[in-house]
Structure 1
Amino acid sequence: MEWAMLLGMMAVTFGIRYLPFALADRLRLNPWVERALSYAPMAVLSAIIAPAVLAPKGELWLDWRNPYLIAAAAAIVVAALTRNLLATIAAGMGLFALWRFWL
C-alpha cells in the first residue's frame, strides 16, 4: 500500500513540475508578462538574501560589526567593478571570514 501511495505522489509531483516545461515552447505569453517574469529570479534572491544580511539574528542589525552586511557590501562593490563571479564570491567569503575572526 505504501508503494502505491509513493508512486502516486511521485507521479503527481513529476506531472506538476514537468508539464510547464514540456508545454513551454507551445505557450506564448504577452510581452509584458514575459518582461515581468524576467524579474522573478532577482526578486526571489533578494527575498532570501536581504533578511539574512540585514537581520541575521532575527533583529535588524545595521552596524559595522555585522559581518554579513560588511561582506555583502564588499561583494556588491567587487561585482560592480569586476563583473567576475569568482572574484565576487572570494571577496565576500574572504571578508566575511576575516570579519568574523577579527571580531
Structure 2
Amino acid sequence: MSDWVMWSVFIAVGLGTFVMRVSFIELYGRWRMPPLLNRALVYVPASVLAALVLPAVVYPNGHGDFTIANPQIPAAILAALVAWKTRNTLLTLGVGMVVLWGLRWVVG
C-alpha cells in the first residue's frame, strides 16, 4: 500500500468518525428522540462497561482459553451479587477484591 493511499484512508476514517460524533452532538437538541430510544440509551453505559470488563475476567492474560480454575470468575459473580443487592460501589469493589485475593491465596 502506497503512502498516499494510506494517508487517504487515515483522513477518510478520521473525517468519518468526526462527522458521526458531531452529528449526535448537533442533532440531539434539534430532533425529538422517540421514547423507546431514550429508554434504550439508559442501558448503554452499563453494557459498554460489561463489554470491557467481561473479557478481562473470563480470559485473564489475554488467552483465548476459558478455564474453570480462574479465580476471577467466582470473585466477579460474588461482586455482581453484592452490587445487585446493595447498590454500594465501594462494598462491591471490596468484596470482589477480598474474594479474588482469598481465592488466589488458597489456590496458590
The TM-score by the shorter chain falls in which range?
A: 0.5 to 0.7
CA distance in 2, matches of 1:23, 1:72: 39
In structure 2, list runs of 5 or more residues that go unmatched: 1-14
RMSD over aligned Cα, in angstroms? 2.7
Distance in 1 of aligned mates of 2:104 and 2:94? 15
Which of 12, 20, 32 pairs up with 2:36?
32
- Using the size of structure 2 for normalisation, the TM-score is 0.64
Q: Residue by residue, what CA displacement relative to the aligned partner does 1:33-83 show, whole Å, maximum 9, x if unpaired? A: 21222221122122112222222232122x2x3111011011012122222
CA distance in 1, matches of 2:37, 2:88: 30
Q: Normalising by the residue count of structure 1, what TM-score does the alignment of the two structures yield?
A: 0.66
Question: Residue 11 of structure 2 corresponds to which residue in structure 1?
Answer: none
User: 2 CA distance for matches of 1:60 and 1:81?
Assistant: 28
Is residue 2:86 matched to residue 1:89? Answer: no
Aligned match for 2:56, one of 42, 52, 55: 52
Distance 1:86 1:79 in 2: 9
